């Protein structure tokens, strides 16, 4: 599966005070379904409903729905880059409205400082899945899995290789609760270059190597 990211810059940054203590939040549309976005991709609403439901149950309700500052290069959460915690994610029509609290982590403090200086920030969802071309639209398939509903990003134009949604040459597979990067290209190359009489042996060896690389 490929790493897919979508950015939304039209979000609000709020300050709430309770018992004399101020907390900072991000609030707005985190995910959108049934809409061809500026990356030319469309997410079926049923796929997002399923993933948001699972994300709420597994992460939001347990206080583990974390996001990072910047553009991570993989699907897993890097704890040293965590800047906020998503506290709610609810459907409104074809949109999913989220709210996240900025944390007092090093990255959270950087996000707060940027906001205080008037820097325009946005959010970027992150997930894994495959894409099928249908006419002029790339439709995200039913195998899509939401990794995080929102990372905080500063540049809506971002690196093309990431914002376009495909990290070329990298595929990701789920293994024992962790995402593992798989060098599928190398495996394919080995098989494609094999002689006919070596094909079965090459396939078996490639599969054995893949299993070996998956071990933690």
C-alpha angle 82-159-91 in degrees, rounded to nearest 5: 55
Which member of 71, 83, 84, 125 is catalytic?
Answer: 71
53 is catalytic: no
Which member of 83, 84, 124, 125 is catalytic?
Answer: 124
Q: Let me know how long the chain is.
A: 216
71 is catalytic: yes
CB atoms within 10 A of CB 83: 24
Task: Confirm if 187 and 210 have CB atoms less than 8 A apart.
Answer: yes
CB atoms within 10 A of CB 51: 21
Catalytic residues: 71, 124
């Amino acid at each position: 599966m490929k790493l897919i990211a979508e950015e939304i810059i039209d979000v609000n940054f709020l300050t709430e005070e309770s018992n004399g203590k101020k907390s900072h939040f991000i609030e707005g549309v985190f995910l959108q379904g049934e809409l061809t976005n500026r990356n030319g991709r469309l997410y079926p609403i049923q796929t997002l409903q399923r993933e948001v439901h699972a994300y709420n149950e597994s992460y939001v309700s347990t206080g583990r729905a974390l996001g990072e500052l910047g553009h991570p290069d993989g699907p897993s959460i890097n704890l040293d880059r965590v800047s906020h915690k998503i506290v709610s994610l609810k459907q409104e029509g074809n949109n999913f409205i989220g709210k996240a609290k900025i944390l007092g982590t090093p990255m959270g403090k950087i996000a707060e400082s940027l906001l205080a200086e008037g820097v325009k920030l946005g959010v970027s969802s992150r997930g894994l899945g495959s894409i099928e071309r249908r006419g002029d639209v790339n439709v995200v398939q039913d195998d899509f899995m939401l990794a995080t509903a929102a990372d905080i990003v500063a540049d809506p134009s971002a690196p093309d290789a990431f914002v376009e949604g495909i990290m070329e040459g990298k595929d990701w597979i789920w293994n024992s609760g962790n995402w593992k990067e798989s060098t599928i290209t190398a495996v394919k190359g080995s098989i494609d270059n094999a002689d006919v009489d070596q094909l079965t042996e090459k396939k078996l060896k490639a599969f054995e190597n893949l299993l070996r690389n998956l071990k933690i």
